[in-house]
């Protein structure tokens, strides 16, 4: 029996940086990123013999991220991830594949007496995501959003499900539907990426996802998931696949009858765990398969 080295990669995870663009002495722009880089290639010797001649220190990877963050202005995170991935493959002969993941945390300006403050912010909810894979098979980019909380106070049902002696859940024709949206969408392959307006694509896709959640009369969170993905692909020709994770943030009506009360669907107990987790992929039936190890969220 032979023992061999299988697939492997290494990198620098969660490089945190904030880029302040100083337009004037008092008017600034803010970009808050979390960047992870993972590399693979001709790296067997470091595993098998401890020979590090082909190893780029992860400290160097971190330095590259910081160096490239000096771009002014910093590009959309998809473009930033593409530049990093191409650099690591082009600059280091032993490396043939780079995976880059970028999270952008949103900040909004604090209102001031004369409008939005020029250099003071408050952290907004959720985050924007980009994943890039660049290697021998080509280049692929996915975008996404993470931890965007949404809630509908009506327009959601859940009934007709399978029951057995372990079932305690009562069917309902009206319930609160709440979730935190985690979504990734894969772009059509474009080796250059220059033809894509990344910001407009992200804004439009996010708006479609949230609008569809709001407007779909839900018979299950699974149905809502599919409707969200279908709407995105219908409206945006440049996308080929949407992956969604929707944890069900349960809102359970409180029973005030033991202390003489009545709840007309107005008071709920919110539970954070355990929770239902609904996951699914919606894709075009003629879409090329995703490249291996595409860095989804």
- Whether 217 is catalytic is no
Distances (CA, A) of 297 to 3, 102, 107: 32, 9, 21
Q: Which residue is catalytic, options 12, 87, 152, 187?
A: 12
- Whether 152 is catalytic is no
Structural tokens at position 211? 């609008």
Cα atoms found within 13 Å of the Cα of residue 7, Cβ hemisphere only? 5
Q: Which residue is catalytic, options 87, 134, 187, 250?
A: 250
- Whether 12 is catalytic is yes
Q: How far apart are CA 102 and CA 35, in angstroms?
A: 5
List 102's β-bridge partners, or say none. Answer: 35, 130
Cα 17 from chain centroid (whole Å): 18
Q: Which residue is catalytic, options 28, 46, 54, 58?
A: 58
**Residues known to be catalytic:** 12, 58, 250
């Amino acid at each position: 029996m032979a023992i061999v080295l299988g697939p492997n990669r290494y990198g620098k995870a969660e490089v945190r940086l904030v880029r302040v663009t100083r337009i004037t002495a008092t008017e600034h722009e803010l970009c808050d990123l979390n960047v992870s880089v993972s590399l693979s290639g001709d790296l067997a010797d470091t595993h098998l013999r401890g020979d590090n001649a082909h190893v780029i220190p992860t400290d160097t990877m971190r330095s590259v991220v910081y160096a490239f963050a000096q771009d002014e202005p910093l590009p959309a995170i998809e473009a930033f991830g593409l530049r990093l991935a191409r650099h690591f493959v082009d600059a280091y002969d032993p490396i043939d594949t780079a995976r880059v993941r970028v999270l952008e945390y949103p900040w909004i300006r604090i209102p001031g007496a004369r409008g939005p403050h020029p250099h003071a912010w408050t952290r907004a909810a959720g985050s924007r995501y980009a994943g890039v894979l660049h290697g021998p098979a080509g280049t692929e980019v996915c975008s996404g959003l993470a931890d965007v909380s949404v809630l509908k106070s009506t327009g959601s049902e859940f009934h007709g499900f399978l029951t057995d002696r372990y079932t305690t859940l009562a069917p309902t024709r009206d319930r609160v539907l709440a979730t935190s949206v985690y979504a990734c969408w894969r772009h059509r392959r474009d080796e250059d990426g220059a033809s894509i307006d990344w910001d407009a694509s992200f804004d439009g896709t996010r708006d479609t996802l949230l609008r569809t959640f709001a407007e779909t009369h839900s018979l299950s969170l699974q149905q809502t998931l599919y409707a969200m993905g279908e709407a995105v692909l219908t409206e945006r020709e440049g996308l080929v696949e949407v992956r969604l994770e929707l944890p069900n943030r349960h809102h359970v009506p409180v029973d005030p009858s033991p202390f003489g009360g009545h709840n007309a669907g107005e008071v709920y107990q919110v539970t954070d765990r355990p929770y239902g987790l609904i996951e699914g992929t919606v894709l075009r039936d003629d879409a090329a398969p995703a490249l291996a190890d595409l860095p989804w969220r």
